């Protein structure tokens, strides 16, 4: 009979930060050769525990036992040397370097191999992991977020670790990319590796994991085999309160047209896209990754150029749109990648919240920032969006992923825009906070805000939107009214296969 062995044991791990107890006496074990999922709300302590495991943080109390040996106070280099690899929530690739350079960065190969050889070797590795679509000679900065994520995972898997930790690896992957990831995970498990898998997507967690641990407010709640959970019981363990309905009862508040986009085209990105947005309307954009939704919205907001077509705001044609002009005209943009153009990580939460609004808090002539107003505004947003942080003057990079997303949302809401473009606003956000954000979007629409909502979760679009536009291959494929939309048809249209 095979005896269960544990690759990792946590005994009473404790770790605090000023104002929060991120981990509070956490104990549980991880079986060798399994996929162990770790779930919990934003700020529950998942990433902190993984940082303790990977040696990035030293716990104040408790013991980590790895392969039967006590290893508390691990240093990052020890962890690597012992075969622990972590793909952190914030990726660690150098954008200016090419894919193959990133793959071998820090390894001996990089010193020995010449450019050409390195690229050939990188291609072989990528192909082996099902990632032949990534060209090893491309600059990493030119890859999509999903491709970067997969590259980082491939890089870590190639290092042949015994324990591979993935902190929200799937949050920016398309469904076909998730399949690649799951195949890779299954293969590693077959080879006897252990994987810790963190995700807010509970269906995925239930699909891929062998065992599941739930953390809540820094405390261990339960560790049990996958088959003992359902999505509902997981949520109950995570939130420990009765959750109301996930989506607000939609009361439509559609007013006059506020934005008209006509035949907008950018070669190779999107073609002849026309749509209108009304005041108080939530207009959803569905489609596969790469369908052109982000590119279209970036052009509408002036972040990217377009070749032809017109944009009209409140009936007036807007020429030469730029982000600052868009802001002046009452538009906001919550971007899909909080690290690239959403937040300044080394600045405080307060600064990030008031950043685009500085002018309204400064006394024009002297440029002096009105601290009191600024503080009040930030506190009000913290309250309204239920953002969790101990001190608004601490750097925003110390906030948990989901709370960072709320800070982005609050900075745009402070501008009181008339139109808000939101690109995947609930990515990386737990079920409870998602509901809060849905309620906020719904309420803002009742106050006449027009919302353009891009989401890869069709449930979300079906639950919130007055209309849903589906894009396919750069074009608008189909528009559905709320009453006629359903999950099957959205998917068919996304594949360009909808026939009415």
Ligand X SMILES: Nc1ncnc2c1ncn2[C@@H]1O[C@H](COP(=O)(O)OP(=O)(O)OP(=O)(O)O)[C@@H](O)[C@H]1O
- Contact residues toward Mg ion (CB under 5 A) are 47, 89, 401
- # residues near ligand X by CB under 6 A: 20
Q: Which is nearer to Mg ion, 92 or 160 (CB)?
A: 92
State how far the alpha carbon of 3 is from the alpha carbons of 227, 259, 284, 345, in Å. 20, 65, 52, 46
In whole angstroms, what is the distance from residue 34 CA to residue 8 CA? Answer: 11
d(CA 106, CA 89): 20
Question: Between 137 and 388, whose beta carbon lies closer to ligand X?
Answer: 388
| CB atoms closer than 10 angstroms to residue 39 | 27
Query: Which residues in 18-37 contact ligand X (CB under 6 A)?
Result: 20, 22
- Using the minimum distance from each CB to ligand X, give the nearer residue, 90 or 132: 90
What sections of 114-198 are H helices per DSSP?
115-128, 145-158, 175-190
The DSSP result for 430-464, as a single string, is -HHHHHHHHHHHHHHHHTT-EEEEE-S-HHHHHHH
As a dihedral over the C-alpha atoms of residue 490, residue 493, residue 497, residue 500, rounded to 10 degrees, the angle is 80
CB 437 within 8 A of CB 425: yes
Q: Which is nearer to ligand X, 177 or 430 (CB)?
A: 430
According to CB under 6 A, which one of 42, 149, 194, 294 is a site residue for ligand X? 42
Pick between residue 430 and residue 460 the one whose CB is nearest to ligand X. 430
Nearer to Mg ion, 86 or 458 (CB): 86
Question: CA torsion 350→353→354→355, rounded to 10°?
Answer: 110
- Pick from ligand X, Mg ion, none: which does 44 bind, CB < 5 to 8 A by kind? ligand X
Q: Which residues are 166's β-sheet partners?
A: 87, 197
User: Between the CA atoms of 415, 420, 426 and 430, what dihedral angle is there, to the nearest 10 degrees?
Assistant: 40
Q: Say how far residue 386 (Cα) sits from the centre of its chain.
A: 18
* Sign of torsion over alpha carbons 182, 175, 338, 396: negative
- 366 to 425, contacts with ligand X by CB under 6 A? 388-389, 398-402
User: Could you say which of ligand X, Mg ion, none residue 398 binds, taking C-beta under 5 to 8 angstroms by partner kind?
Assistant: ligand X
Residue 8 CB, nearest approach to ligand X (Å): 17
Binding mask 66-95 for ligand X (x = CB under 6 A): -----------------------x------
- Between the CA of residue 373 and those of 380, 382, 383, 392, what are the distances in Å? 10, 14, 15, 14
- Confirm or reject binding of residue 169 to ligand X (CB under 6 A): no
40 binds ligand X (CB under 6 A): yes
Nearer to ligand X, 84 or 303 (CB): 84
Q: How far is the CB of 332 from ligand X (least distance, A)?
A: 23
Name which of 30 and 126 has its Cβ closer to ligand X.
Answer: 30
Please report whether residue 59 would count as binding ligand X according to CB under 6 A: no
Is 278 near ligand X (CB under 6 A)?
no
In the complex, the smallest distance separating the C-beta of residue 38 from ligand X, rounded to whole angstroms, is 8
Alpha carbon distance 430, 113 (integer Å):
43
Q: Which of Mg ion, ligand X, none sits in contact with 461, Cβ below 5 to 8 A by type?
A: none
Rounded least distance, CB 443 to Mg ion, Å: 27
What is the C-alpha separation between 224 and 398, in angstroms, rounded?
A: 30
Which of Mg ion, ligand X, none interacts with 40 (beta carbon under 5 to 8 A by kind)? ligand X
Task: Supply the minimum distance, in Å, between the C-beta of residue 3 and ligand X.
Answer: 32
Q: Nearest approach, Cβ of 402 to Mg ion (angstroms)?
A: 8
User: Whose Cβ is closer to ligand X: residue 14's or residue 32's?
Assistant: 14
Q: Site residues (CB under 6 A) for ligand X?
A: 17, 20, 22, 40, 42-48, 89, 388-389, 398-402, 430
């Amino acid at each position: 009979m095979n005896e269960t062995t544990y690759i990792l044991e946590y005994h009473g791990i404790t770790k605090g930060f000023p104002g929060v107890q991120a981990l509070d006496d956490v104990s549980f074990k991880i079986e060798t050769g399994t996929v162990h999922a770790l779930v919990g709300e934003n700020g529950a302590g998942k990433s902190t525990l993984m940082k303790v495991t990977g040696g990035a943080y030293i716990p104040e109390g408790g013991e980590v036992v790895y392969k039967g040996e006590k290893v508390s106070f691990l240093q990052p280099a020890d962890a690597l040397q012992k075969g622990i690899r972590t793909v952190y929530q914030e990726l660690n690739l150098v954008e200016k370097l090419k894919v193959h350079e990133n793959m071998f960065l820090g390894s001996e190969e990089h010193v020995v191999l010449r450019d050409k050889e390195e690229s050939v070797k990188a291609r072989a590795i990528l192909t082996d992991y099902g990632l032949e679509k990534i060209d090893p000679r491309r600059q990493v900065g030119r890859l999509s977020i999903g491709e970067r994520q997969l590259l980082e995972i491939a890089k870590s898997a190639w290092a042949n670790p015994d324990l591979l930790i993935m902190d929200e690896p799937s949050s920016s992957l398309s469904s076909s990319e998730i399949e690649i990831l799951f195949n890779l995970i299954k293969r590693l498990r077959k080879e006897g590796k252990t994987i810790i898998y963190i995700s807010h997507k509970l269906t995925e967690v239930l699909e891929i994991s062998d065992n599941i641990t739930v953390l809540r407010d820094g405390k261990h709640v339960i560790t049990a085999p996958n088959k003992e959970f359902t999505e509902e019981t997981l949520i109950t363990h995570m939130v420990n309160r009765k959750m109301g309905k996930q989506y607000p009862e939609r009361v439509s508040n559609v007013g006059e047209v506020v934005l008209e986009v006509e035949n907008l085209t950018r070669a190779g990105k999107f073609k002849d896209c026309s749509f209108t947005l009304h005041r108080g309307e939530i207009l959803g954009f569905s489609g596969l990754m790469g369908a052109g939704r982000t590119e279209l919205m970036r052009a509408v907001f002036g972040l990217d150029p377009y070749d032809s077509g017109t944009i009209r705001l409140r009936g007036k044609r807007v020429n030469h749109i730029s982000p600052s002009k868009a802001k002046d005209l009452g538009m906001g943009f919550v971007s899909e990648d909080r690290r690239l153009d959403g937040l300044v990580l080394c600045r405080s939460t307060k600064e990030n919240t008031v950043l685009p609004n500085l002018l309204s808090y400064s006394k024009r002539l002297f440029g002096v920032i009105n601290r009191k107003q600024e503080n009040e505004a930030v506190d009000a947003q913290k309250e309204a969006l239920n953002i969790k942080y101990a001190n608004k003057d601490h750097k925003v990079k110390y906030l948990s992923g989901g709370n960072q997303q709320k800070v982005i949302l609050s900075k745009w809401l402070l501008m009181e825009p008339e139109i808000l473009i939101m690109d995947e606003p609930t990515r990386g956000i737990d079920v409870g906070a998602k509901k809060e954000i849905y309620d906020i979007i719904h309420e803002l629409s009742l106050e006449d805000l027009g919302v353009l909502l891009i989401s890869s979760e069709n449930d979300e679009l079906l639950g919130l939107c007055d209309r849903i536009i589906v894009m396919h291959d750069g074009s608008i494929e189909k528009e559905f009214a709320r009453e006629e939309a359903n999950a099957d048809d959205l998917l068919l249209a996304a594949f360009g296969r909808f026939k009415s």
